[in-house]
Chains A and B, each alone.
Chain A
Amino acid sequence: MTTTSPSVRRGLIARVIVGRTFLWAWLLVGLVPLIFMLITSIKPAGLANQIPPAWVFTPTLENYASVLTAGDGKSESFGQLLFNSAIVSLGATLLAIAVGVPAAYALTMRDFRARKGLSSWILSTYMFPPIVAVIPIFVFAGRLGLIDTYPVLIIPYAAFNLPIVVWILRSSILQLPYEIQEAAMVDGASHWTILRRIIWPLLVPSVATAAVLTIVLSWNEFLFALSLTRSGAKTAPVGLQQFTGMYGTDWGNITAASTLIVAPILVLMIVLRRQMVAGLSFGAVK
């Protein structure tokens, strides 16, 4: 370090300054849409879409109250839509974990010859475009009378998150020392006992990561929810459109609803930041 010439050092310092300026400029400009959303959501009626934008006002929660109650030409309250989103996301997560944990375990069994091929197949389904699946699912669900029910979203959400879930769990099982499993087998433990008593307790953090990712991605999903629900199982992101109705957009309501959708996800993502990025890269980045 001490042997570097002054000119090289100056170049390095300049580079660091330019880099950091760019980074923080990006971060601050990137906050603008979120600041707009939050501030507009607590503006009193009439100020929400005023130009020039009002920066001094008495904050109010009336938009949130209005959004969460039914009426005003809305077929259902936004609270109901958030509830639908929660049911569908949690249902999809339970299903994905329930089928994903045994599958991930099977894919690490050393005497299972098909494990490589099956792992690759599961990973490759990540490429499958939802738009290609949605038309057949629409037709099947229509014949079975399942349109606008919870399962018609829960099953596709679980399926489309399975590649991530299985790969996260599989790579964490592979990271456990195999000797633990061997020792248990020597003691006569069955695969089921090994999974339940030995692997499951060690796998809980990875299961949590996979579960949170599935919740977030299901909560955020738009295409299936738009195509396969009408009112009964409609989720919050689709319901957001109802605020841009015939009478123009109610900016206070729409930003309050937006904040209600985004807030729980933001909290989850920030708490589990590192795990989220590792998970979304299929464990390829630690």
Chain B
Amino acid sequence: MKSAVTVPDAGLKVQGARRADGRNSTAPHGTKRPSWRKRSLPWAYMAPAMIVLLLMTVAPAIFIFYSAFRNDKILGGAGRFVGLNNFVEAVSNASVRNAFGITLAFVAVAVILEMILGFALALPLAAQTTANKWGAALMLLPFAVTPAVAAMVFKQLLNPNYGWVGYYLGFLGFPKGVDLLGDPTSAWIVLLILDMWQWTPFIALILMAGLQSLPAEPREAAMVDGASPWQMFRHITLPGMVPFIAIAAVLRTIQAFKTFDSFKILTGGGPGESTEIINLGIYRVGLQSFNVGLACALGVIFLIILSLLVPLMLRVIGRRSDPEEM
């Protein structure tokens, strides 16, 4: 602000520029040591976080890629190299194929339904009224509930003998004493409803924030020009919402692939293997049957499938968070 400050400031900027040039050129000019220190400094700040992440994601990834080619058992001591046997078993095993298939189906159906319902909820919720402030707070409640607790509560509500759902649906003519978790179709519907109950609010709140950030002028102009509500939605609201829809869809897809708690507690994969998604399959093979090799082979396949989502996530979230940086 004062001239006494701006003069050295300008001088330093020139120096800085010169330093930057020196670093870019191949000749070190005898300033190697400070520039090395300067360059290593950000790495020092990064190191602790990188160590934690390397330990918990990269090291496990290396482990599963290694173990997938061996027949180690957790309790049986070290096994040996078995080549592609685990992968052959994984691919030829019908229940494994079933697990991958129903996982993909669950993710697709849950995400699509939650996106549609979330949008339908976000539209009325976006109007900034006092009632909607309460609405948004209420909206958050299911989303805040611990997933394991939500699954336990649903299990009680659905209890064939004492549950509220069976009792009150009885008044609507539904048969009493039916175990909704005992039949594959109704078990799937229950799992989807639980997922929608818990996660649609997350999507609704993201889309609500998106709707509130859209400029009002284009809508007002279109209204003056006599556009129908559908035309305004189709040609103004929807195009403006594309980035928010993309963020919600990508995040929700990744989260849905990680779903474990509700399936483990509500159905445990049953009845039969009808709801055994891949997360439950890997858990059962690896941590209950202790077949580490096969579990790791399944993990490798699962990891590769999920890796396909990474570029999408980087594009949608990375660019949105800071357009200049990414």
A interface residues, Cβ below 8 angstroms from B: 1, 3-5, 8, 11-12, 15-16, 19-20, 22-24, 26-27, 30-34, 36-37, 40, 49-53, 95, 98-100, 102-103, 105-107, 109, 111-112, 114-116, 118-120, 122-140, 142, 155-156, 158-160, 162, 166-167, 171, 174, 182-183, 185-186, 191, 216, 219-220, 222-223, 226-227, 237-238, 240-241, 244, 249, 251, 254-255, 258, 261-262, 265-266, 269-270, 273-274, 276-278, 280-286
Contact = CB atoms under 8 A, between A and B. Distances in A.
B154 interface: yes
B52 A134 contact: no
Contact of A223 (B60, B139, B159, B261): B261
Interface string B133-168: 001111111111111111011101101011010010
Contacts of A107: 46
A123 B314 contact: yes
Contact of A5 (B145, B226, B286): B226
Given A33-B154, A222-B148, A162 B53 contact: yes
A20 B296 contact: no
Given A119-B318, A270-B137, A95 B52 contact: yes
Given A130-B258, A134-B287, A159 B56 contact: yes
B314 A124 contact: yes
27 contacts: A1-B224, A4-B223, A8-B229, A11-B228, A23-B124, A26-B200, A34-B153, A36-B164, A53-B167, A99-B49, A99-B51, A103-B45, A106-B46, A109-B41, A129-B279, A135-B299, A142-B74, A162-B49, A223-B261, A223-B279, A227-B287, A249-B156, A251-B162, A262-B146, A273-B140, A277-B202, A277-B205
Contacts of A282: 251, 317, 321
Contacts of A116: 325-326
Q: Which residue, A223, A277, A278, A280, has most C-beta atoms of chain B within 10 A?
A: A277
B244 interface: yes
A49 B148 contact: no
The B contact surface, by secondary structure, is helix
A104 B202 CA distance: 25
B313 A127 contact: yes
B287 A135 contact: yes
A160 B56 contact: yes
B38 interface: yes
Contacts of A140: 59, 63
Contacts of B161: 51
B270 interface: no
A171 B323 CA distance: 11
Given A37-B153, A273-B205, A284-B247, 18 more contacts: A8-B226, A23-B125, A24-B135, A49-B156, A102-B46, A111-B20, A114-B43, A118-B50, A122-B53, A125-B57, A135-B295, A137-B56, A158-B52, A159-B52, A162-B53, A220-B147, A220-B148, A266-B145
B232 to A, nearest CB: 9
Please list the 9 inter-chain residue pairs (A to B) with the smallest Cβ-Cβ separation, ordered nearest first. A159-B56, A103-B49, A106-B45, A19-B124, A136-B60, A269-B144, A136-B63, A237-B148, A99-B48
Contact of A281 (B142, B229, B247, B292): B247
A175 to B, nearest CB: 9
A212 B52 CA distance: 20
B273 interface: no
Nearest to B287: A227
B27 interface: no
B82 interface: no
B185 to A, nearest CB: 22
Given A219-B146, A222-B264, A266-B144, A258 B153 contact: yes
Q: Which residue, B144, B310, B325, has most C-beta atoms of chain A within 10 A?
A: B144
Interface string B191-203: 0000001001110
A258 B149 contact: yes
Contact of B120 (A19, A115, A118): A19
Nearest to B63: A136
Q: Which residue, A26, A134, A222, A238, has most C-beta atoms of chain B within 10 A?
A: A26
A163 to B, nearest CB: 8
A139 B63 contact: yes
Nearest to A14: B229
A171 B322 contact: yes
A99 B202 contact: no
A216 B143 CA distance: 11
Contacts of A30: 138-139, 141-142, 197, 201
Contacts of A132: 60-61, 64, 282, 299, 302-303
B209 interface: yes
B77 interface: no
Contacts of B200: 26
B213 interface: yes
Given A136-B63, A258-B153, A285-B247, A277 B206 contact: yes
Contacts of B303: 128-129, 132
A261 B45 contact: no
B229 A15 contact: yes
Contacts of B141: 30-31, 34, 266, 270
